[in-house]
Amino acid sequence: MKRIISVCIAALFILTSIVGVSAAGSEKWKNLGHYLDQSDGVMTETADGLQIDIKGYYRADGNYAGFILKDPVTLDGFSIEIKVLSAPIESTDAWLGIDFMAKPAALDITAPEGNPGFVSLIRPSSDGDVIMYQGFELVDSFDFKESINIDGPYVTTYTMEVKKTATGYSFILNGNAHDYDYATLLSVFPDGKAYPLITSSDVDELGYSYVITKINGQPVVTPDAPPPVVEEAAPAAVVEEAPAPAPAAPAPVAPRVGDSMVIVLVMMMIASAGVVVFRKKISVK
C-alpha cells in the first residue's frame, strides 16, 4: 500500500513541474481571410503569445489577410507588443501593419468610408537597419500623413502605444511619435474605441512570422497554474485497545432474613412439641 502511495505522489510531483499554455487568447481574434493564391494566415498559441505565420501581399479586392480583435478597445492608453521572428527584408516591397479600425473588418484603401481608421505601415530598409514608420488616415481617402525613420534592426520587438491629446490622437512606435495630430480620428472613433488590426504584406511572398506578446502590458497567453502539490499525509497513529476488564464475580446471594426466621421458629416449635409429649408420657407412668 505504501509503495502505491509513493508512486502516486511521485506522479503528482512530475505534474506540478509541467506548465501548460492557457487556451485563452486566439479565440478573441478574427482571421480576416487570405491573400490571392495564398492560404489563410495561421495563428498559433505558444508560450510567448499568439504567433502569426503568413505569406502574400495586400490587394484591395477582397484578397486580404490579417487578424483583428473581435471586441473594440479604448484607444487612449492602449498598447500592443509584437515580436517579429522573421521578415522578408530583401523583398521588393514589404510591411507590417498595426492599424485601428472603426469596424471589425479589413481595410480597403479603395473604399475607406466603409471602414475608416488609422493605418501604420512599418517597412524595412534594404539592409534592415532602418525602420520606416508610416502613418495614414483612412477616412475620405487613403491619406499619407508622416513617416519617421527609426534605427533598426527591423527584426525586433515593436510596441505601439496610443494616447489621446487635446486635439487628436498620437500613435507612438517604440517611443517614436508622429508630429502630425490625427484630429480627424476624433470623429471616426466618437466613443474613443477602435478595433486593433494586425496585418502584413510581402509582394515577393517570402513570408512573415511574428508574435503578439502583450496587450496593455499583460501577456495575451498566460501559463496554466500548476496543480497544487499534494503531500503524503503522515500515517495515523495506531491506537491499541485496552484489554476488556475481567467479568466481575457474581455477588453472593444473601439468604432472605424472613425465610430463615420462619424455619428456625418452625424447628423450635417442633422441638418444643416433642419435649411436651415426652414429658406427658413420663408423667402417665
C-beta atoms surrounding 35 within 10 Å: 22
Q: Residue 15: is its pLDDT beyond 50? A: no
Name the strand (E) or helix (H) holding 50.
strand 50-54
What mean pLDDT is reported for the chain?
A: 78
Q: Which residues on neighbouring strands pair with residue 40, listed in sequence order?
A: 34
Q: Are 95 and 87 in contact (CB under 8 A)?
A: no
Q: Residue 178: is its pLDDT beyond 80? A: yes
Overall average pLDDT of the 39-43 stretch: 78
- Residue 219 vs residues 25, 102, 158, 160: alpha-carbon distances, Å: 9, 25, 14, 15
Overall fold of domain 20-219 = Jelly Rolls (2.60.120)
pTM of the model: 0.71
CA distance 43 to 220: 13
pLDDT above 90: percentage of residues in the chain? 51
Overall average pLDDT of the 177-181 stretch: 94
Closest listed residue to residue 138, CA positions, set 80, 191, 197, 93? 197
CA distance 173 to 98: 10
Overall average pLDDT of the 55-78 stretch: 85
Q: Are 179 and 36 in contact (CB under 8 A)?
A: no
Hey, is 137 helix, strand or coil? strand
Question: What cell numbers appear for 95 in the block?
Answer: 510591411
The domain ranges of the chain are: 20-219
